Amino acid sequence: MDPMNFSRRNFFALAAASATEFRALMAQDRAKVGMNVLSTRPEDLEMPLSGFSDYITPIEHFFVRTHVYVPTVNLNEWRLSIDGEVATPLTLTMDDVKKLPAVELVSVVECAGNGRGFIDPPVPGLQWTNGSVGNAIWRGVRLADVLKRAGIKDSGKEILFNGADVPLGAMQDFRRSIPVKKALDQNTLLAYEMNGVTLPVKHGFPLRVVAPGWASDSWVKWLTNITVLDKEFDGFWMKNAYRKPDHPIAPGSAMPPEKMIPVTSLRVKSVIARPVDGATVRLGEEVNVQGVAWSGDKGPIASVDVSSDGGRTWKPADLDPRKSQFGWRLWGFSFRPDRESYYNVMARATDASGDSQPFTQEWNPSGYGWNVVQRVGVNVVESPQTTMQGSMIIPAQQSIPAGPYKDACLTCHEEDVIRQQRLTRAQWDREITKMTNWGAPVKPENRDSILNYLVQQFGPRPR
């Protein structure tokens, strides 16, 4: 299998579909600004910390997560099909969809892997820090209304979604299913607008699933097919990816996917937008701590507490009046340091069920669900010199030697996704197997040298 042929095939498929319309659609999207680029191709973009000062995240700061390249969708040809365990299979145009009652809601969308970059020992995957999350206004129709028109049979248990994106190489198509109960929830939508504009191409034009309170792997973009199944979908993206143990396991150990449970609800969490870690403040000035908090199925944010002394004492933050069941809540807290010192500022959110953020994370093999209490250091001094900026550092691009590694690993994506990893030999060995299964042309006689190179260049962090 030659992955160049695969990527070329995808490229020509795109080009042939309607290059002009695609370019026009992309041009109508707001350009992304100031994002952390985790992968250029397929595109994965992280929102900077400053984005946590907005109640509604502007599209130019909204994170992007794509497993493969963004597909072209021509609205005139686009159809939504509903089939499987239904009384009446349907094929809908966008006009048909828009005839159903329109519903609008504010909801956080957060990637299950948000915060993976903090997990220790490190695990493979995009090394997100805080910003694979955003809060948007979604407008669309209730999935329940669409399903009612088709009529779910008694045998229908799970709703499977597929989008127009095309897999790379031999990887499986990105498809996800959710239980009927979640699908029929009145807040589960099929959205065609985001923040008052047509759903942008990168966010799933023309239609995407909105599953409020759940991690965004279930929020399928570029939706084209809904299939009612009599059981959970058994493809790779349900049975291998997006699963975690249902109990703590030893850090660094592996667990077979069938022993793990699917990622569903988000966990209560808060992020400090400012001050940034390492900021310097003049003695006598107020320190304004500000951020957002959100939660999942267990109920909205009830309170956020802030500590300025490393967790010894806590005081409640002020909550912004703007709130909704699934949106995030802005909060603020000020204190006036009374001496020169390094202040460890922490924020801890609690949801309506009484769940609070943990102080240490239960490790899991794919690094899902990070919600540890965040800490930022604030240096209070008489006369400040400079302000440090805290941000994730991806080492600068080095020149990549021609050879088996380049040929096998740098066709579908760039080296950026590889460079951010810090993995053991065993973890790199599993990554090579995963990529080989997806069609990476790793010749058996080169496998060892590729593995050695990866371990040498991108091995575990020194302890």
Ligand X SMILES: Nc1nc2c(c(=O)[nH]1)N[C@H]1C(S)=C(S)[C@@H](COP(=O)(O)O)O[C@H]1N2
How far apart, in whole angstroms, are the C-alpha atoms of residue 163 and residue 206?
A: 10
The amino acid that residue 295 corresponds to is S
Among 46, 85, 217, 351, the residue binding ligand X under the rule CB under 6 A is 217
Taking the C-alpha atoms of residue 124 and residue 254, their distance in angstroms, rounded to an integer, is 12
């779910």: which residue's tokens? 152
Question: Site map for ligand X, 18-57, x if CB under 6 A?
Answer: ----------------------------------------
- 102 CB-near residues (< 8 Å, 6+ apart): 139, 140, 141
Structure tokens at 280: 């310097």
Distance in angstroms (rounded) separating the CA atoms of residues 271 and 346: 9
Asked if 421 and 122 count as a contact pair (C-beta separation under 8 A), the reply is: yes
Q: How many C-beta atoms surround the C-beta of residue 299 within 10 A?
A: 15
Q: Which of 61, 139, 221, 422 binds ligand X (CB under 6 A)?
A: 221
What is the nearest approach in angstroms of ligand X to the Cβ of residue 212?
14
Cβ–Cβ under 8 Å, residues 174 and 166: no
CA distances, 253 to each of 88, 121, 259, 314 (Å) = 47, 10, 13, 35
**Number of chain residues interacting with Mo ion (CB under 5 A):** 3
| Site stretch for ligand X (CB under 6 A), options 213-221, 272-280, 305-313, 358-366 | 213-221
Going by C-alpha positions, the residue among 33, 59, 67 that lies closest to residue 48 is: 33
216 binds ligand X (CB under 6 A): yes
Among 35, 49, 97, 111, binds Mo ion (CB under 5 A): 111
Q: Does 59 bind Mo ion (CB under 5 A)?
A: no
CA 192 from chain centre, in angstroms, equals 20
Shortest-Cβ-distance residue relative to ligand X: 163
Extract the tokens encoding 333. Answer: 């807290």
Q: Are the beta carbons of 326 and 293 closer than 8 angstroms?
A: no
Of 59-67, 200-208, 282-290, 329-337, the window that binds Mo ion (rule: CB under 5 A) is 59-67
CB of 314 to ligand HEC, least distance (A): 37
Residue 163 near which of ligand X, ligand HEC, Mo ion, none (CB within 5-8 Å, type-dependent): ligand X
Nearer to ligand X, 220 or 266 (CB): 220
Number of C-beta neighbours around residue 259 at 10 A: 10
The least CB distance from residue 49 to ligand HEC, in Å, is: 23
**Least Cβ distance, residue 203 to ligand X (angstroms):** 4
Q: 125 or 156: whose CB is closer to ligand HEC?
A: 125
8 A C-beta contact, residue 274 and residue 288: yes
Using the minimum distance from each CB to ligand X, give the nearer residue, 167 or 275: 167
Among 46, 110, 217, 305, binds Mo ion (CB under 5 A): 217
Does residue 203 belong to the site contacting ligand X (CB under 6 A)? yes
**Residues 63-102 within binding reach of Mo ion (CB under 5 A):** 65
Residues within the interface to Mo ion (CB under 5 A): 65, 111, 217
Q: Which residues bind ligand X (CB under 6 A)?
A: 62-67, 109, 111, 163, 165, 174, 203, 216-217, 219-222
